[in-house]
Structure 1
Amino acid sequence: MSVILSAIAEHNPLAGSPLGVQIFAGVVAFVIVSIVINVSLQLLLPQDKSHPPVVFHYVPIIGSAVTYGMDPYRFFFDCRAKYGDVFTFILFGRRMTVALGPKGSNLVFNGRLSQVSAEEAYTSLTTPVFGKDVVYDVPNAVLMEQKRFVKFGLSIENFRVYVNQISEELKDFIATDVSFAPLKQGKPAVVDIFKAVSEITILTASRTLQGNEVRENLDKSFAQLYHDLDSGFTPINFVLPGIPLPNNFRRDRAQRQMSEFYLNIIKKRRSKGIVGAEHDMITALMEQTYKNGRHITDTEIAHMMIALLMAGQHTSSATGSWALLRLASRPEVIKDLYEEQLRVYGDGAGGIQPLDYDTQKSELPLLDAVIKETLRLHPPIHSIMRKVKSDIPVPASLATPKGAKADNQPYVIPKGHYVLAAPGVSQVDPVVWNDASRFDPYRWLDAAGPVEGLNDAADQVDFGWGMVSTGASSPYLPFGAGRHRCIGEQFAYMQLGTIIATFVRRFEWRLEGKFPDPDYTSMVVLPKAPCNIVITERQV
């Protein structure tokens, strides 16, 4: 202890002061006593057998935050081996009850509104970024109507227009971005693919969903607004909402300015009567009315557009980057993708026809399989949470403790906990998938499907935004399930498919170094730097 205190005192501004030594000695003593008491309580006090087991942790309040934050999937697998599929861990004072496996996902995704709330779980994180009166800042019934509004804008008619727009944006980006410049001299280009795909994603999303005004204003000032707003999407704001940090001050300022930017676009469109003239989401939203007859407000439209920009950008740029990196690790798949493009789009004279939505959706099984396999290995969000509003009885088949008999008393998840689903665990579970850690798109081309139970034939329910399967008892749920299933699923497939197909038609590529590890420090799982690929022009 004297050695520790000496080291602390040496770097202390009060070093040499008896008062300074006493203060730091007191802090160290307090920490040690807190740890001893916390460990003793866990070891000596009887645990409530009706509640899920609590993961052992040394430091009170902080709990398992460090091990969970460093590698959530390793944490989940390790805890499952010790405690079973249902367990609770402490995260900065919050009790997080994890429910793993397909049955665990079903428990969370199809929980009754009287039992679980996504709004109470996420509003502290999302509302300061998106703005008031949208997404998780409204009652669930209103959110379902807002999802219906968005779905109206995600029409097949619009998708048919978007494929060509995305292709054009990508070709322009390749022609002008400095990373691709060596290709003009016939040399390979080393490209930071996460950086490139992040820029491509926001360009293509702004050209399609966001509208011409947004695309024309993608200059440095808009980029800075986006960056400042994005700084609010940090894990600390989930556990400590409203903390006065410089990032949050910048977030709040950027939210006001971006909201005003969209409001000006809407105002100009209304004044000029442009409703219906554009194939973008602003036009679609301007035409919507709630079931009670109330028209959607301009502020709601502006904040929904921010939500679409922020949420879609993270997930699509992450998945697109992982897809191109995975393909770089298996050049033979790139070759097969190119042959598929020639087979489907070849014009018979050595050329290749432009991409189109209907053909891409129905006649490119390997391209579809590449996206599915990427999402299997790299679901954008590793933890999906709900706030527990009333006690949740856990089915005995899910809640049986590790090594116990199935007739034991089932668990109850108490009110006040947070319940957490991690469908990504099932997606890489070696018990479920053959060679689970291997990137193998061909597994999806088997007529019988890659695994049993993949297609859940559960009832279709309309939660207010169209018919959707309630089935969550599947080992593959990259877009969630139930009322909160991601509404952008079809747009994501279209956008990612167009980007990958455009790369395949023009380039061959490989990894520059080793395959990058995942970065779990943000809310979306991104590839750690460096994530460079070496690109060469395809020799046709």
Structure 2
Amino acid sequence: MAALKELANGVKDLSVYLYLVFMALPIYQRASIVLLLPFIYTLVWQFVYSFRKDRVPLVFYWIPWLGSAIPYGMQPYEFFADCQKKYGDVFAFVLLGRVMTVYLGPKGHEFVLNSKLADVSAEEAYTHLTTPVFGKGVIYDCSNARLMEQKKFVKGSLTRDSFANYVPVIREEIFKYFKSSENFRLGERSHGRTNVMSSQPEVTIFTASRSLLGEQMRNKFDASFAQLYSDLDKGFTPINFVFPNLPLPHYRKRDEAQKKISRTYMELIEERRKNNDIGDRDLIDTLMKNSVYKDGVRMTDQEIANLLIGVLMGGQHTSAATSAWFLLHLAEKPELQEELYEEIMRVSEGKDVTSDMLLKMPLVNNVIKETLRMHMPLHSIFRKVMNPIPVNGTSYVVPRGHHVLVSPGFAHLSAAYFPQPEVFNPHRWDTETTSTTDEGTVDYGFGAVSKGVSSPYLPFGGGRHRCIGEQFAYVQLGTILTTYIKTIKWKLPEGARVPEPDYQSMVTLPLCPAEIDWELRTKN
């Protein structure tokens, strides 16, 4: 005991001595040491890490805490490809103070998306990012069991019968937009130039709100309401992933938008409650009637409003980005537009397209499928590690507190799975298949989904967090595409090319200018 006390006193005396020596140095030397220490620590930590045989290879970095954030944030797929050449499919990198273990390819999809719930957590990975956007008590601000039940509540409005009703109202909203929006003004103009990053977010929010939330709620939406959703969208950036709240303008706009949208939903919910006006019209009615958890707890009206924000945000991300991308790619291929027109007219016999007709239009669906291959909305999917997990077939163990990352979008763009992956070619899906051995289905609480996630093509994710809106997305996007094709022709402006992707948001969007020149289609 005395020896330990003596050692402690010695350490204390040494600390005091070093402090006095440090303070005796000129101020510029002290400043240099303070600046250099984090860099020295970073290099020493990486050196020690490199000797650990139970850790995956770590991508070297110079800048403390920042790590590989810049190359990853600017061009994630290029970053992954460079790392794959050096380290193989499994490696780790530091992202803003967090160690991210990446596993590329279908085996990585299986490793992350089918990991045990006790071992990895989407809630712990995302809640600080999503809760300020969606609100309390929903999506990732609740237990996984609660989230699975919330998905089941919503899925009740995503049936084949409901899709039959959605298609005509989606088409009606698009025609309204064509006539009233400054992006088109059909009736006043027969041609023009449109920025698809202006038009498609608006088209998406108007069509989704009308079909899912009903005409009452749609009437409350206008271009300014679409802008509120755009402000919410800007809450999904890498900096928000690390710092949920900062005194910056886009944080303030995010919070104001969340309050205004939530208040709008609450007003309608309260009005229906007051008038006992709860039927079977829309998702709002469905949630007001059926959102009771298995343990008997009922969702509060505020939680219903928050969940509605989450549902529309999910569709907003996927459909706005995807429809913008397929308009741009088709602008390069007028012959493909004509091929689509012929398919639509043949199947529909010149009548309005229905949900059943959409199922009989392979080229329409393959255009959507190919767009999602080339431009998966989320380039990275994260989970936080809650218990150490071994990497199959290796000596590596990912420790508790680290994150795992999977990127189906990287596999989508790999020549190992898709020949000429950089070429937009919907006809590749005429013969190409991404099916794997049937591994059966599993019900995580919101209906049966495939157990298998080892396909190289997973645009809607997989496992318990698989997107439940896949069928609705195809209905919405199919209706948008067929309505555009039947109404207008379009091309890229002279000398323009399809824009490069912008990866600085959490959603893969085209860099501006993202414009098309359109003209009214002459009916045959």
TM-score when scaled to structure 2?
0.90
Distance 1:27-1:474 versus aligned 2 partners, 3 A rule? farther
Q: Secondary structure of the equivalent of 1:420?
A: strand
Contact 2:205 2:226 in 1 (8 A): no
SS of the residue aligned with 1:137?
Answer: coil
Shift of 1:28: 6.5
Q: Percent identity?
A: 47
* Separation in structure 2 between the aligned mates of residue 509 and residue 120 of structure 1, nearest angstrom: 44
Question: Counterparts of 1:245 and 1:207 in 2: how far apart (Å)?
Answer: 33
> Aligned partners of 1:58, 1:366: CA distance in 2, in Å?
48
**Aligned residue among 353, 356, 359 for 2:357:** 359
Structure 2 equivalent of residue 520 of structure 1: 503
For the structure 1 residues 156 and 141, does the alpha-carbon distance in structure 2 shift closer, same or farther, using more than 3 Å as the test?
same
- The amino acid of 1:443's aligned partner reads R
Q: Conserved in 2, the CA contact under 8 Å of 1:183 and 1:189?
A: no
Distance in 1 between the 2:189 and 2:223 partners? 29
1:213 Cα deviation from its structure 2 partner: 2.8
2:249 pairs with 1:268? no
Q: Residue 209 of structure 1: CA displacement?
A: 1.0
Residues 1:153 and 1:44: Cα distance change in structure 2 (over 3 Å):
closer
2:177 aligned to which of 166, 173, 187? 173
1:426 aligns with 2:411: yes
Q: Deviations over 1:68-91 (max 9, x none)?
A: 000000001110111111111001
The Cα shift of 1:385 comes to 0.3
Structure 2 matches for 1:48-447, cutoff 5 A? Answer: 48-181=52-185, 184-186=188-190, 188-219=191-222, 222-223=225-226, 225-278=228-281, 280-288=282-290, 289-346=292-349, 352-361=350-359, 363-396=360-393, 399=394, 410-446=395-431
1:469 and 2:450 equivalent? yes
2:246 and 2:440 map into 1 onto residues whose CA distance is: 43
Gaps of 5+ in 2: 1-25
Q: For the structure 1 residues 385 and 65, does the alpha-carbon distance in structure 2 shift closer, same or farther, using more than 3 Å as the test?
A: same
Check conservation: 1:454, 1:475, Cα contact below 8 A. no
Partner residue, 2:4:
none
1:105–1:472 CA contact under 8 A, matched in 2 = yes
**In 1, Cα distance between equivalents of 2:41 and 2:127:** 34
Q: Compute the displacement of 1:99 (Å).
A: 0.9
Q: How far off is 1:223 after superposition?
A: 4.2
SS in 2 for 1:105: helix
Structure 1, unaligned stretches of length 5 or more?
1-21, 347-351, 400-409
Q: Deviations over 1:147-189 (max 9, x none)?
A: 0000001122211111000111111111122222487454x31
SS at match of 1:262: helix
- Within 2, Cα distance between the matches of 1:478 and 1:106? 14
Distance 1:28 1:338, change over 3 A: farther
- Worse-matched range after superposition: 501-510 or 228-237: 228-237
- 1:183–1:537 contact (8 Å) kept in structure 2: no
Distance 1:269 1:54, change over 3 A: same
TM-score by length of 1: 0.87
In angstroms, what is the RMSD of aligned CA positions? 2.0
Residues 455-464 or 165-174, more deviating? 455-464
Change (3 A) 1:46 1:107: closer
CA-CA distance at 1:306 after TM superposition: 1.0
* 1:509 paired residue number: 490
Q: 1:339 to 1:45 in 2, by over 3 A?
A: closer
SS of structure 2 residue aligned to 1:142: helix
Match of 1:534 among 517, 520, 524: 517
Aligned 8 A contact 1:192 1:530 in 2: yes
Letter in 2 for 1:490: Q
Aligned counterparts of 1:493 and 1:74: Cα–Cα separation in 2:
29
CA shift for structure 1 position 221 = 5.3
| Distance apart, 1:218 and its partner CA | 1.6
Distance 1:46 1:327, change over 3 A: closer
- SS in structure 2 opposite 1:153? coil
User: 8 Å contact 1:456–1:472 — kept in the other structure?
Assistant: no
Give the 3-state SS of the residue equivalent to 1:78 in structure 2.
helix
AA aligned to 1:521 is Q
Name the amino acid aligned to 1:519: D
Contact 2:132–2:244 (CA under 8 A) maintained in structure 1 = no
Distance 1:297 1:195 in 2: 35
Cα distance between partner residues in 1 of 2:207 and 2:51: 53
Whether contact under 8 Å (2:228, 2:261) holds in the other structure is: yes
C-alpha distance 195-339 of structure 1, shift in aligned 2 (>3 A)? same
Deviation of 1:454 after TM superposition, in Å, equals: 2.9
Verify the 8 A CA contact 2:412 2:457 in the aligned structure 1. yes
CA distance in 1, matches of 2:178, 2:95: 43
1:481 corresponding residue in structure 2: 462
Which residue identity lines up with residue 446 of structure 2 in the other structure?
Answer: W
Cα distance change, pair 504–45 in 1 and its aligned pair in 2 (3 A): closer
8 Å contact kept, 2:61–2:68: yes
For 1:23 and 1:320, the matched residues in 2 are separated by 58
- 2: CA distance, partners of 1:151 / 1:166: 19
CA contact 1:379–1:478 (8 Å) conserved in 2: yes
What amino acid is the match of 1:468? V
Secondary structure of the structure 1 residue equivalent to 2:416:
coil
1:536 Cα shift?
1.5
- Distance in structure 2 (CA, Å) of the matches to 1:62 and 1:115: 26
Relative to structure 1, the CA distance from residue 527 to residue 29 in structure 2 (aligned partners, 3 Å threshold; closer, same or farther) is farther
Q: Does the CA contact (< 8 Å) of 2:138 and 2:307 recur in 1?
A: yes
The 3-state SS of whatever aligns with 1:178 is coil
For the 8 Å contact 1:374–1:439, the answer to whether it is kept is yes
Change beyond 3 A, Cα 1:41–1:130: closer
On the 8 A contact 2:179/2:186 being kept in 1, the answer is no
| Cα distance in 2 for residues equivalent to 1:245 and 1:190 | 34
The separation in 1 between residues aligned to 2:227 and 2:415, in whole angstroms, is 43
- Please state whether the residue corresponding to 2:66 is helix, strand or coil: coil
DSSP 3-state at the match of 2:418: coil
The structural deviation recorded for 1:31 is: 4.2
Equivalents in 1 of 2:28, 2:225: separation in Å? 46
3-state SS of 1:75 partner: helix
Q: What is the match of residue 14 of structure 1?
A: none
Secondary structure of the residue aligned to 2:459 is coil
